[in-house]
A = this chain, B = another copy of it.
């Protein structure tokens, strides 16, 4: 990935990072002038960045009224997990059918190990990041070049972060187990197996989210 040298890219990444890290909480107003000053840029690239984030579904832009970091309702989470339940099993089934190169499989296994480590240490933020990385890698491996773009709007880390925070030890272990099983299913080139595990993985996450909110 090229470190975009355009100011608009800088702004995009900076604001995105603010949102994903939680520094800019949901509902926060994103004033163009304020951001521009903070980032040492003019309003033009900041404006472009905000629009892009709007297209990503991370901020809500109202004409003549500025932009705010989106607030997720219970219904939003429900919708998001339903769409993921539809698309991600498809992605891993495709990946399993195509078959992945050994280096890619190794990378996935490494991510599993790293996630297990983070889970044990209780480093939830790191875990959320690694988890996103893992899912993104699988989606990329599907061979459908449109899938990653389609899922960006429903794969935002704040959601996942919220998910992990609520996990007890058993649920966490189960989730980590799903990851391993997923890689094994793909390695075995069994699309049905892979898709089923992914469905379980996502429904388990959705159930956990539902139960306490």
Contacts and interface: CB of A to CB of B under 8 A. Distances in A.
Interface stretch (A147-155, A163-171, A182-190): A147-155
Interface string A44-55: 000110011001
Interface in A74-114: 76, 79-80, 82-83, 86-87, 90
A146 B154 contact: yes
Interface in A93-147: 144-147
A146 B51 contact: no
A6 interface: yes
A40 interface: no
Contacts of A55: 52, 55
A65 B79 CA distance: 38
Contacts of A57: 146, 149
A73 to B, nearest CB: 10
Contact-size category for A? 20 to 34
Contacts of A63: 4, 6
Contact of A82 (B6, B82, B144, B153): B144
A132 to B, nearest CB: 18
21 contacts: A4-B63, A47-B48, A48-B48, A48-B51, A51-B52, A52-B55, A55-B55, A57-B146, A57-B149, A76-B146, A79-B144, A79-B146, A80-B146, A82-B144, A83-B144, A83-B146, A86-B86, A87-B87, A146-B153, A150-B150, A150-B153
Given A48-B48, A83-B147, A83-B150, 15 more contacts: A47-B48, A48-B51, A52-B55, A55-B55, A57-B146, A57-B149, A76-B146, A80-B146, A82-B144, A83-B146, A86-B86, A86-B87, A146-B153, A149-B153, A150-B150
The 9 closest A-B pairs by CB, nearest first: A55-B55, A79-B144, A79-B146, A86-B90, A150-B150, A86-B86, A6-B63, A83-B146, A51-B51
